[in-house]
């Protein structure tokens, strides 16, 4: 197959094209080899026992990291500890918005990314189902969750976070029960230039594809019939799918648009 054809196949099958983001899965330590090989087969990437020059997913004793462009990124919920300790969780805008009287509230994060927003919801007490369609991001998140599960404080929170690798547009209308909350934080182009994200996430962005299906995502979220739908937007960004929220809560750089779906 020539290069053009292989890129077409990669795009059609949801895999990354070779030139967009050549990614190699690398293992360091024979005990991680089988896992690296399985991951490489899953994402359709080459696998190696030696580091190379380009972007790589590195499996070693530290866990799974994305390495390249002079940066290393590994999901790490320990970094979230200051945000949930000493009563600070209740200062989080998202937690304020997601407040509920339900005893066992359920949420669906339909655009999980590295799960930081889901983590806040789970720390508050939500049982969260996280959908992430990008297999590389899903693998990094799964690894971060595995490590969090072994931590005395993070463990019970991570236990309330249930990762599903897949497309939430298909999954949301088919949920067995309507969740109390659906949360959407799709990628928006403005964010790339806004400096809203830390340097570490710049590496993750090399993998992300723009969300070109905002209308479908919004319609799928509504079709799940949650009590509340919350959408994260850039402060001055357009509404998702042009839908007027019932109310919005604004921070310095972002806002949350809220819809009460089932009253």
Binding site for ligand SAM (CB under 6 A): 110-111, 113-117, 131-134, 137, 167-169, 185-187, 208, 211, 217
C-alpha span between 129 and 145 (Å, rounded): 13
162: left (phi over 0), alpha (psi -120 to 50) or beta: beta
Provide the minimum distance between the beta carbon of 32 and ligand SAM in the complex, in angstroms, as a whole number.
Answer: 24
| In the block, residue with structure tokens 């949301």 | 172
68: left (phi over 0), alpha (psi -120 to 50) or beta: left
Q: Strand, coil or helix: what is 91?
A: helix
C-alpha span between 22 and 121 (Å, rounded): 34
Kindly tell me which of 35 and 208 has the beta carbon lying closer to ligand SAM: 208
Kindly tell me which of 38 and 170 has the beta carbon lying closer to ligand SAM: 170
Kindly tell me which of 32 and 115 has the beta carbon lying closer to ligand SAM: 115
Provide the minimum distance between the beta carbon of 168 and ligand SAM in the complex, in angstroms, as a whole number.
Answer: 4
Kindly tell me which of 67 and 220 has the beta carbon lying closer to ligand SAM: 220
Provide the minimum distance between the beta carbon of 244 and ligand SAM in the complex, in angstroms, as a whole number.
Answer: 22
Asked if residue 23 lies in contact with residue 57, where contact means CB atoms within 8 angstroms, the answer is yes
Residue 83: name the closest of 112, 138, 122, 111 by CA: 122
- The DSSP symbol for 237 reads P
Kindly tell me which of 34 and 81 has the beta carbon lying closer to ligand SAM: 81
Provide the minimum distance between the beta carbon of 103 and ligand SAM in the complex, in angstroms, as a whole number.
Answer: 25
Q: In what order do the strands lie in the sheet with 228-234?
A: 161-165, 127-132, 106-109, 181-184, 228-234, 254-260, 247-250
Kindly tell me which of 111 and 129 has the beta carbon lying closer to ligand SAM: 111
User: Which distant-in-sequence residues (6+ apart) come within 8 Å of 38 by Cβ?
Assistant: none
Provide the minimum distance between the beta carbon of 145 and ligand SAM in the complex, in angstroms, as a whole number.
Answer: 12
Provide the minimum distance between the beta carbon of 240 and ligand SAM in the complex, in angstroms, as a whole number.
Answer: 12
Is residue 74 within a helix (H) or strand (E), and if so which, with residue range? none
């Amino acid at each position: 197959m020539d290069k053009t054809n292989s890129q077409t196949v990669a795009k059609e099958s949801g895999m990354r094209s070779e030139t967009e983001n050549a990614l190699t899965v690398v293992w360091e330590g024979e005990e991680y080899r089988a896992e690296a090989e399985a991951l490489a087969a899953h994402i359709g990437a080459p696998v190696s026992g030696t580091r190379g020059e380009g972007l790589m997913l590195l499996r070693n004793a530290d866990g799974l990291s994305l390495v390249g462009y002079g940066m290393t990124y590994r999901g790490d919920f320990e970094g979230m500890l200051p945000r949930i300790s000493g009563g600070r969780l209740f200062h989080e805008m998202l937690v304020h918005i997601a407040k509920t009287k339900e005893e066992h509230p359920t949420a669906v994060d339909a655009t999980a990314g590295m799960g930081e927003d889901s983590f806040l919801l789970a720390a508050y007490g939500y049982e969260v189902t996280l959908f992430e369609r990008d297999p590389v991001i899903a693998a990094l998140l799964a690894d971060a969750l595995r490590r969090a599960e072994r931590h005395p404080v993070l463990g019970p929170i991570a236990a309330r976070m249930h990762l599903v690798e897949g497309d939430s547009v298909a999954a949301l209308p088919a949920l067995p029960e309507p969740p109390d909350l659906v949360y959407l934080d799709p990628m928006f182009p403005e964010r790339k230039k806004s400096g809203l994200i830390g340097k570490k996430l710049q590496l993750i962005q090399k993998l992300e594809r723009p969300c070109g299906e905002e209308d479908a995502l919004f319609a799928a979220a509504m079709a799940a019939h949650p009590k509340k739908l919350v959408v994260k937007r850039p402060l001055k960004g357009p509404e998702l799918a042009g839908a007027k929220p019932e109310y919005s809560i604004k921070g310095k750089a972002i806002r949350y648009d809220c819809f009460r779906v089932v009253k």
